[in-house]
Structure 1
Amino acid sequence: MLRKTVLAFAAAVLFGAPAFAADLIEEVPPAPIPLATSGWYLRGDVGYVFKSNNNGHWDFWNQFPGVEGVDDTFYYKDFDLDDAASFGGGVGYRFNDFLRTDVTADYFSPDLDGRRGCPSYIAATQYGQAAPDITCKYKDSADVDIVTVMANAYVDLGTYSIFTPYIGGGLGAAYVDYGNLKVEQCGTSDCGASPNDNVFHNKGEDSWRFAGSLMAGVTMDVTGPLKLDVGYKYTHITDGDAFGYDAADRATGAKGAQIKDDGFDLHTIRAGLRYEFF
């Protein structure tokens, strides 16, 4: 009897041990499978464009009968585009974890403020001023609308927790549309103090130009498909026509652009959202 009891106990231990051991091992759930996106995404951005210096040159038109024409060309360095907000959006495609591209359009509308010195013969004939004591100047003001359309490529530099830094670059075009320029001719710092002070209006020009940009920033995962993008963007826009001649110059035969800019270097801090489609 004892022998049968021992044999039964041994069999229970021998054949029941695997099941007992299996019960002690906690079952590991399968690893989650990341959701695959289609690669396509939409983006929207807002930004702040910092003040940009705008250099260029302008032609002085001689209205005197018989010698009408451009007498001289002067260079200016004191035209500034004021700070302004920018708004943009675009559509893109992600090829893999490191490379993505998009096409974007951005718009901003800064004010332009400028200062130019009067030519010496204007200072002499209208204000009796001679070098080095010339105080005659032109005060300029206008508004500008700028739209950039860019094709961009980005390299994502790896993901760290929920953050993905990136660098990028873009090529495209910019549409620059100047409003009418108000020019105040001032004999002293106090415009309107002299009877020879005057106000002119020059028609604004518009043109498409080449543009290029460089970007750097970081993306933060908000949800699976939604990303927050914060970064810096540098944009260079090439030179072009800015303003035509005023009515008095045009009446004596002046045509085309009187003032031409040397282009812009724009510095923008921006933030936006990207939504990736599954």
Structure 2
Amino acid sequence: MSRYSVSAAIVAALLSGTASVRAADLIEPVYEAPAPLPVSTSGWYLRGDVGYVFKGKASGEWDFWNQFPGVEGIDDTYDYDTFNLDSTASFGGGIGYRFTDQLRTDATVDFLRTNVEGETPCPFMVQTDPNGLALPFDAACDLKASTKASVWTAMANAYVDIGQFGRINPYIGAGIGAAHVKYEDVTEDQVCGAPYSCPYTGVHEGQSSWRFASSLMAGATVDITGQLKLDAGYRYTRIEGGDAYGYDAADTSFGATGVQGRDDGLNLHSVRAGLRYEFGATSYGDAHSGGLSSYR
């Protein structure tokens, strides 16, 4: 082979290698996307809440004790015309567990203290003036009672989180448990319209009792971070009836014992807001790209 033939072969080989390199450059490298990080949907959480309990109307009844010698005892049972609970604040907290994206449960304890006022017409037997004479029916005699009640509730609750809409997750829930209702001493005044005088005032010892309680809830959770949530919603709580107060000193001096007044149950309507911290939640940015992720 001549010198020129060898040179031509070397040049051809170099050109062929260059073309192969350029062709390889046209094929882009393929990278596998990293597997998504697992999203935590379960775990323990703590919660704390404050609420506003709306003014409500309940019902109640009381027994009239006849003091007349020889016939001492309960003559009749009367209903309260009004039995009102003032609006007040409530405070609560609890611990819970999230099982899935949709299902969670918690145990909560809540407290409230409210003014209670009741009013009922005087029975005919107590419509007497200071001289012991019966008052006419137009005397407009009423018995007005006032006290304070403290209510503790211990509830086991379950919630269904409906779905995530951005940072907002609506929910519904229900709970059952127990309530401890304690009345302070009840002051009862006999009030008559002018010109009649009704000087009676009695003090009745307040009673306390444990009762069955149930509740329904609806609201929404707003993600502040992956773990920290703002929880706001409405709650209705039904507390079964129980003892309210005993007899005053005048009735007990004539042999009265036990409970004189009872409530027929309390219906509490409230709005609440609080914070919930979920230990098992995934922090923002871990589950989805772009910085906005599910709260779980």
Q: Same fold (TM over 0.5)?
A: yes
Q: CA deviation at 1:158?
A: 1.1
Q: CA deviation at 1:14?
A: 3.1
Aligned equivalents of 2:133, 2:93: Cα separation in 1: 52
Stretches of structure 2 lacking an aligned partner (at least 5 in a row):
1-6, 281-296
Aligned equivalents of 1:47, 1:39: Cα separation in 2: 26
Q: 1:11 matched to which residue of 2?
A: 17
Q: 1:209 matched to which residue of 2?
A: 211
Q: Which has the larger radius of gyration?
A: 2
Assess, with a 3 A threshold, how the Cα gap between structure 1 residues 7 and 54 changes in structure 2: closer, same or farther: same
The amino acid that maps onto 2:21 is F
Aligned equivalents of 2:270, 2:133: Cα separation in 1: 43
Assess, with a 3 A threshold, how the Cα gap between structure 1 residues 277 and 6 changes in structure 2: closer, same or farther: same
* One of 79, 100, 105 as aligned partner of 2:104: 100
Q: 2:144 matched to which residue of 1?
A: 139
Aligned equivalents of 2:171, 2:238: Cα separation in 1: 20
Summarize deviations over 1:108-141 as a string: whole Å, max 9, x none: 001111211111232266674444x241001211
Q: Kindly, what percent of the aligned residue pairs are identical? A: 49
The amino acid that maps onto 2:103 is L
Assess, with a 3 A threshold, how the Cα gap between structure 1 residues 51 and 11 changes in structure 2: closer, same or farther: same
Assess, with a 3 A threshold, how the Cα gap between structure 1 residues 127 and 111 changes in structure 2: closer, same or farther: farther
Query: Given the alignment of the two structures, is residue 58 of structure 1 paired with residue 62 of structure 2, yes or no?
Result: yes
Q: 1:33 matched to which residue of 2?
A: 37
Q: CA deviation at 1:76?
A: 1.1
- Asked if the contact 2:122–2:141 (Cα under 8 Å) also holds between the matched residues in 1, the reply is yes
Assess, with a 3 A threshold, how the Cα gap between structure 1 residues 197 and 10 changes in structure 2: closer, same or farther: farther
Aligned equivalents of 2:96, 2:147: Cα separation in 1: 35
* One of 176, 179, 195 as aligned partner of 1:174: 179
The amino acid that maps onto 1:240 is G
* One of 239, 262, 275 as aligned partner of 1:237: 239
Query: Given the alignment of the two structures, is residue 70 of structure 1 paired with residue 74 of structure 2, yes or no?
Result: yes
Aligned equivalents of 2:111, 2:160: Cα separation in 1: 25
- Asked if the contact 2:128–2:198 (Cα under 8 Å) also holds between the matched residues in 1, the reply is no
CA RMSD of aligned residues (A): 2.3
Q: 1:22 matched to which residue of 2?
A: 28
* One of 253, 267, 270 as aligned partner of 2:272: 270
Aligned equivalents of 2:73, 2:268: Cα separation in 1: 35
Assess, with a 3 A threshold, how the Cα gap between structure 1 residues 127 and 87 changes in structure 2: closer, same or farther: farther
Aligned equivalents of 2:32, 2:90: Cα separation in 1: 51
TM-score by length of 1: 0.89
Query: Given the alignment of the two structures, is residue 113 of structure 1 paired with residue 117 of structure 2, yes or no?
Result: yes
- Asked if the contact 2:41–2:99 (Cα under 8 Å) also holds between the matched residues in 1, the reply is no
Q: How many residues align?
A: 272
- Asked if the contact 1:53–1:77 (Cα under 8 Å) also holds between the matched residues in 2, the reply is no
Q: Which range is displaced more, 114-123 or 64-73?
A: 114-123
Q: CA deviation at 1:3?
A: 8.0
TM-score by length of 2: 0.84
Assess, with a 3 A threshold, how the Cα gap between structure 1 residues 142 and 5 changes in structure 2: closer, same or farther: farther
Summarize deviations over 1:40-78 as a string: whole Å, max 9, x none: 111101000111212011111011111110111111130
The amino acid that maps onto 1:97 is D
Aligned equivalents of 2:15, 2:81: Cα separation in 1: 101
The amino acid that maps onto 1:254 is A
- Asked if the contact 2:230–2:276 (Cα under 8 Å) also holds between the matched residues in 1, the reply is yes
Aligned equivalents of 2:24, 2:108: Cα separation in 1: 63
Q: CA deviation at 1:15?
A: 3.4
